[in-house]
A and B are shown apart, each in its own frame.
Chain A
């Protein structure tokens, strides 16, 4: 018996397109539902990505940088004994990587601050004031007074809350107390040169910022430091740099930490937001899938007789399956593309002005969020939306297509 041939793609496409347009009102309603669903999904994803990106940027620029290099064990011990004794060895590497746009050396230690009204536990951070401006935006967060300059050996900046708690004002004497390498407690008098407001209360509540030179001299650290902080050109290059430094500085001397590891809470919050985004994606896709499935099943019910005839005259079941699957895939893809375009237009129209949530700013400040959210379309989200849509298209198409192949010929042909 001669083997049957394959229907050309043109025939499948013609059938799918014309079958979709034979009840154009129903197809239009289905498409509009999909466009609404996918555009809403695109906007929500863009808002989610926008504020996650803001949060990341704020977190990285407020204090941590993208990557920190410490002597092994420092992050856990926070002890000056675990310090980088040869910072020049690490610093030399910074010139080799174009992904690095800035880096600075720091000393971090805990201590006590006292001013006229009282005293408070603080985190002393010493940095090179010029280099720091390439790594974080702290210099732009000075609310009163000014940023540190090189050579300032007796000046400090305080976080807004710690200054409030101490009752310190610009020009006031502030005494810092800390432990030297040898365990000796020492104190020094500084003058309040400026007040910082980073937007992260946990920093504003504890930060006392002095110059690196003064700290090295006061704490008798020589040229040693505790942190080397690096800023990458884009967030996504953090992983690239992490791998490079891990390879270059492998051994027991150093620990290399990306920003995600420096504040586990922020990491958890970002993961939660990702999961939340996936839940929204899942719900919208389920709704879209239900709509498509409904449309396809009604269409199948209406065309039982025609499908019966098509099988009777020699169409193979797998060809029927492909016909109906292609119809669902075409419908859902058209809806997805139009929906994504509509969503993208919405996002672009809101990208500059953003969505102003100033009224809820207090609720967000713990999470490094700006009160105005700028939606942002990312490739990752687009892939997720289109991937989920494709999966939904296949799921919504497979069942009706499979059902069509189970059609009883004799019953289908008897339908009046």
Chain B
């Protein structure tokens, strides 16, 4: 990994982070060095507890490190005060969380417009921006629904739209497909890849989903708080194409049929695999 890249949008050096439960230390990161260039679609992979989320939180100025430095867009975010970090996040970083984390009492468009209002844009303008991004993520017709009236995939699309609405340079996504079924997850990755290509927004995604890893422009593997491996431009077998109509928008009977078809396919595969093993 290069020591210093002049074009790095994210630059982490010798990052250490340890959590304490009472007097028990739980080391999360141990000397991480990382450079991400603008426009990259990077995936942080690794088992649960490997430090992926902690690294994302440090880069996202959500937590403080015990040691080391993080420069994002040339700014040392660990040296910033609390309010400075908040402003920095608002202007430069979009977040997509595993559990969608939308504001429950707001509709989809209000959720997206909220960040624009935080940036000081007027309510009307913010709503226009929200409508635009909801269309971009293919749920423009669901803008008036509240999160509890949307499926998981739709909620995560709202979260992506919210992350993009502030026009950030970087989007940090923490296990964005973990709560989605595989087909919806694939559609979401496809969408994020597409946005990455079209808008040039840098995506840093933590995930252990094989589909996400497949889509990565660069894959960084973490184990026990350290980077153990990294691949650039890994060969990407095409991920399953997204259908023109997102599955969550299909009528219930169709969705049920799809689900049953998938389940049947899985069961047959499993049985076939077992039979092969038995024959051997």
Q: Which residues of A contact B (CB under 8 A)?
A: 1-8, 10-11, 14-15, 18-19, 22, 305-306, 309-317, 319, 409-410, 413, 416
A305 touches B101 (CB 8 A): yes
Contact among A5, A313, A413 for B121, CB-based, below 8 A: A5
| List of A residues within 8 angstroms of B110 by Cβ | 14
Contact among B82, B105, B118 for A15, CB-based, below 8 A: B105
Q: Which residues of B contact A (CB under 8 A)?
A: 57, 60, 62-63, 82-84, 86-91, 94-95, 97, 99, 101, 103-106, 110, 114-115, 117-123, 162, 166
8 other A-B residue contacts (CB within 8 Å) besides A4-B119, A314-B89 = A1-B84, A10-B123, A11-B114, A11-B117, A309-B103, A313-B166, A314-B166, A317-B83
The residue of chain A having its C-beta at the shortest distance from the C-beta of B57 within the complex is A410
A8 touches B118 (CB 8 A): no
Contact among A4, A11, A15, A19 for B87, CB-based, below 8 A: A4
B101 touches A314 (CB 8 A): no
Contact among A2, A7, A14 for B91, CB-based, below 8 A: A2
Main secondary structure of the interface of A (DSSP, over half): helix
Decide yes or no: A313 and B90 within 8 Å by CB, A5-B121, A306-B104, A413-B62 being known contacts: yes
A305, B101: Cα distance in complex, Å: 8
Decide yes or no: A18 and B105 within 8 Å by CB, A315-B118, A413-B62 being known contacts: yes
Least Cβ distance of B219 to chain A in Å?
24
A313 touches B87 (CB 8 A): no
A311 touches B86 (CB 8 A): yes
B97 touches A309 (CB 8 A): yes
Decide yes or no: A3 and B117 within 8 Å by CB, A310-B103, A312-B62, A410-B63 being known contacts: no
Contact among A3, A19, A306, A409 for B120, CB-based, below 8 A: A3
B118 touches A409 (CB 8 A): no
18 residue pairs of the A-B complex, CB under 8 angstroms, read: A1-B91, A2-B119, A5-B118, A11-B117, A11-B123, A18-B105, A18-B106, A22-B104, A306-B103, A306-B104, A312-B62, A313-B94, A313-B162, A314-B87, A314-B91, A316-B86, A413-B62, A416-B99
Decide yes or no: A316 and B105 within 8 Å by CB, A6-B120, A11-B123, A413-B97 being known contacts: no
A409 touches B63 (CB 8 A): yes
A313, B162: Cα distance in complex, Å: 9
| List of A residues within 8 angstroms of B57 by Cβ | 409-410, 413
The residue of chain A having its C-beta at the shortest distance from the C-beta of B88 within the complex is A1
Contact among A18, A312, A315, A317 for B95, CB-based, below 8 A: A312
B115 touches A317 (CB 8 A): no
| List of B residues within 8 angstroms of A319 by Cβ | 118
| List of A residues within 8 angstroms of B106 by Cβ | 14-15, 18
| List of B residues within 8 angstroms of A410 by Cβ | 57, 62-63
Decide yes or no: A409 and B91 within 8 Å by CB, A4-B119, A311-B86, A316-B86 being known contacts: no
A4, B83: Cα distance in complex, Å: 10
The residue of chain B having its C-beta at the shortest distance from the C-beta of A8 within the complex is B123
